Amino acid sequence: MSSYVAYFGLFRTSARTVLAYRMSFWLGVLGGILPMVSLFAIWGALLSGERSLGGLDWAQMRAYLLVTFGTGSLLAAYGDFRMANRILDGRVALDLVKPVDYQRSRFAEALGGVGMELLSVGLVTCGVVIITGPVLVPHGVQALLFLAAMASVIPLKFGIMYLTCTLCFYTQNYVGLFWARETISALLSGALVPIALLPGWLQAVSGVLPFASVVSTPALIYVGAVSGFHAVQLILVQVLWTVALWFAARLAWRFAIRRLTVHGG
Amino acid sequence: MSLVEVTGLTKVFRRPVKDPGFRGALRHLVSPRYRDVTAVERVDLRIEPGEAVAYVGPNGAGKSTTVKLLTGIIVPTSGEVRVAGLSPHRDRIANARQVGVLFGQRSQLWWDLPVRESFTLLRDMYGVPDSLYRARMKRFDEVLDLGSILPVVARKLSLGQRMRADLAAALLHGPRIAYLDEPTIGLDIAVRDRVREFLRQLRDEGTTIMLTTHDLGDIEDVCERLVIIDRGRVIYDGSLAAVKDDFARERRIHLQLASPVPLASLSDRLPDAVVVAGDEPGEFTVTVDRFRQTAGAVISAVLPLAEVVELRIDEPAIEDVIRKVYAGELRLA
């Protein structure tokens, strides 16, 4: 009970921190709408002569791109950079003298940002719909499956980010790790192009890594390209990855923390 | 059993060795070389409940590393640490409940939020009951004048305000042991006095304090025991008064006499003292061992020669001892 209060406190404080920067929130919304509109234009041109690309028609593709934007926005405010910088400059020392689990604390903070991120995704979606017209919306069971997949994205994405931050102990730098992860993830998650459009060997690589569960799974369920039992299967894969990454990160942290060096002060 | 028991504590860091210039950087990229640096070496330390210990040493001596080992932030290379029976790095969370830590050079406040939010978060983290929380906040307001700071966003605090808030934040949960690493760094005299007063109160209430500082005024005001560390090793551990009695024996008496007196005749009358003439005629500084010659004896020796117009006495300060230790002029124990 008392630990619940502690983590809820972190959640609440993190949520307030996000609210502290109004300007950056609105810039984020604006910065979300413009690339979406241009992405629509590019894919619209690609699909102009075709009925479908990678199994998706134009209506599905637009929805796919929007969900991709949504999963990309989740945990963006969490600031893996914040955690990484605290490790690198030694402020992590202050986190380690608190009577809370480090990983759960960071997860609580990550969740604290989700509300605002969802709001931002909603506003961007509205903006895009106003500019380019209505998008496809799933109904009934399909909608529920989508919500389940989207909810799983949060702890899963957190696991990937947290593990990357843990590598900081070894690299002493985060920018390189961040870009490596972003690039690999963009390609293998289906965020850049649907995985069906990738060459076979890259599809195979994507199949054994967790990135597709973050983007492709909720996006394909949303547009109805995957449904029923297959959708449930993909959600189970998400859950398995989430659990595996959570414990892998715990183990990794135990080793990495031994390398912590905090100089001065 | 002591509250803090440290046995043979050693911490070795691996530090990359890089040759100068671009070539050196390239070489390090291809075949990195490392050197082991021992920050803390076979430290033994016992702290009893309610003790106030000053932990001092020159820059880079291993003070902060010791505190980080005691709080479980870093893992010892060898040796054993027990704090109230717990091993800080293995039982990090349980240990965190009983200790309060202040790193004077880092803030634990949430940078983007009003200070009050940091305190409510800490209350939740440590599970401080509401009534106790209010009582402690009231007390912090009285001693540290915290009330005026609470609505301010942490990033906008002055250094003195930040330090007061951080000190309160470290002590909000009423820890048994407070590790305070340079709690008065960069503070003006008024705030510093206030912080020291607060630390004295804390000590009198039975909180065990380990104070790391370069400010020797902090030590004399708050601590009875002194531990000096140099190059990772404890070179002195004993009572502050004993250090002063053993090593800070020189009392300096500055005299301004009504008429000029030859230095030699003054020296003749004070055979056990060192007499130095000042810039002005009739100005002298007499240095005596305070255990061998009283100030009164010096004055009565001088009076037959001339009237004393002005008199100022510099008491020996712990600062002098530590300065000598740092400079390698004095070997304790």
pLDDT the model gives residue A77: 66
pLDDT tens sequence across B79-104:
999 999 999 999 999 999 999 999 88
Question: How near does any CA of chain B get to the CA of A101, in Å?
Answer: 7
Residue B97's nearest CA partner among A216, A3, A73 is A3
Q: Which 3 state secondary structure label does DSSP give B331?
A: coil
Question: How near does any CA of chain A get to the CA of B31, in Å?
Answer: 15
pLDDT the model gives residue A265: 45
A window 77-106, beta carbon within 8 A of B: 90-91, 93-94, 96-101
If residue B16 lies in a helix (H) or strand (E), which one and from where to where? strand B4-17
Q: Report DSSP state, residue B314.
A: E
Task: Find which of A97, A100, A260 to mutate to test the B interface (most B CBs within 10 Å of its CB).
Answer: A97
pLDDT the model gives residue A1: 47
Q: Are B2 and B48 in contact (CB under 8 A)?
A: yes
B-chain CB neighbours of A6 within 8 Å are 124-127
Q: Do A98 and B113 touch (CB under 8 A)?
A: no
CA distance B331 to B333: 7
A-chain CB neighbours of B103 within 8 Å are 93-94, 265
**Axis crossing angle, helix A175-189 with helix A200-207, rounded to the nearest 10:** 110
Which of A2, A94, A97 is facing B127, going by the closest CB pair?
A2
Q: Are B41 and B10 in contact (CB under 8 A)?
A: yes
Topology classification of domain B249-316: VC0802-like (3.30.2130)
Q: Do A261 and B181 touch (CB under 8 A)?
A: no
Q: Are B332 and B247 in contact (CB under 8 A)?
A: yes
CATH number of B4-245: 3.40.50.300
Q: Do A21 and B72 touch (CB under 8 A)?
A: no
Question: How near does any CA of chain B get to the CA of A265, in Å?
Answer: 6
**Residue found by looking up tokens 């989508």 in the block:** A146
Mind giving me the DSSP string for B244-282? HHHH--EEEEEEEESS---HHHHHHH-TTSEEEE-SSTT
The answer to whether A23 faces chain B, any CB pair under 8 Å, is: no
Q: How far apart are the first and last CA of chain B?
A: 25
Q: Do A97 and B71 touch (CB under 8 A)?
A: yes
**Axis crossing angle, helix A175-189 with helix A80-89, rounded to the nearest 10:** 150
Domain ranges of chain A: 2-259
Could you tell me if residue A116 is left (phi over 0), alpha (psi between -120 and 50 degrees) or otherwise beta?
A: alpha
Tokens read off for B141? 């307001």
Which of A91, A94, A96 is facing B72, going by the closest CB pair?
A96
Which chain B residue's Cα is nearest to A9?
B121
Task: Find which of B121, B128, B166 to mutate to test the A interface (most A CBs within 10 Å of its CB).
Answer: B121
Q: Do A261 and B92 touch (CB under 8 A)?
A: no
CA distance A255 to A237: 27
Which chain A residue's Cα is nearest to B62?
A264
Which chain B residue's Cα is nearest to A6?
B125
Q: Are B235 and B333 in contact (CB under 8 A)?
A: yes
CA distance A51 to A36: 21
Long-range pairs for B142-149: beta carbons < 8 A, 24 or more residues apart: B143/B194, B143/B197, B143/B198, B143/B201, B144/B168, B144/B194, B144/B195, B144/B198, B145/B194, B149/B115
Q: Do A257 and B99 touch (CB under 8 A)?
A: no
B-chain CB neighbours of A9 within 8 Å are 120-121, 123-125
Residue A99's nearest CA partner among A166, A13, A5, A3 is A3
Q: Do A265 and B94 touch (CB under 8 A)?
A: no
3-state SS, one letter per residue, for B154-201: HHHCCHHHHHHHHHHHHHCCCCCEEEEECCCCCCCHHHHHHHHHHHHH
User: CA triplet B240, B246, B249: central angle to 5 degrees?
Assistant: 100
In this prediction, the residues of chain A whose per-residue pLDDT falls under 50 are 1, 265
ipTM: 0.87
Residue A208's nearest CA partner among A228, A179, A233, A237 is A237
Residue A32's nearest CA partner among A98, A122, A115 is A122
**Residue found by looking up tokens 């009582």 in the block:** B135
**Residue found by looking up tokens 């255990």 in the block:** B291
Length reported for chain A = 265
Which chain B residue's Cα is nearest to A97?
B96
pLDDT of chain B, 333 residues: tens digit per residue: 789 999 999 999 888 787 788 887 788 778 888 888 898 999 999 999 999 999 988 888 888 899 999 999 999 999 999 999 999 999 999 999 999 999 888 899 998 899 999 999 999 999 999 999 999 999 999 888 899 999 999 999 998 899 999 999 999 999 999 999 888 887 888 888 888 988 999 999 999 999 998 887 888 888 999 998 888 899 888 888 888 777 778 888 898 988 888 888 888 888 888 888 888 888 999 988 888 888 888 888 888 888 888 988 887 777 777 777 777 776 665
How far is residue B318 from each of residues A229, B61, B194, measured CA to CA in Å?
Answer: 78, 19, 21
Q: How far is CA A230 from the centre of its chain?
A: 22
**Amino acid letter, residue A39:** L
Mind giving me the DSSP string for B22-86? HHHHHHHHHS-EEEEEEEEEEEEEEE-TT-EEEEE-STTSSHHHHHHHHTTSS--SEEEEEETTB
pLDDT tens sequence across B270-312:
888 888 888 888 899 998 888 888 888 888 888 888 888 898 8
Fold match between B4-245 and B249-316?
Answer: no
Domain ranges of chain B: 4-245, 249-316
CA distance B182 to A249: 34
Q: Are B324 and B266 in contact (CB under 8 A)?
A: no
CA distance A36 to B157: 41
Which of B113, B117, B125 is facing A98, going by the closest CB pair?
B125
Q: Are B74 and B9 in contact (CB under 8 A)?
A: no
Residue B273's nearest CA partner among B260, B285, B258, B257 is B285
Residue A108's nearest CA partner among A246, A12, A238, A17 is A12
CA distance A101 to A133: 46
Q: B285 forms bridges with which residues in the sheet?
A: B254, B276
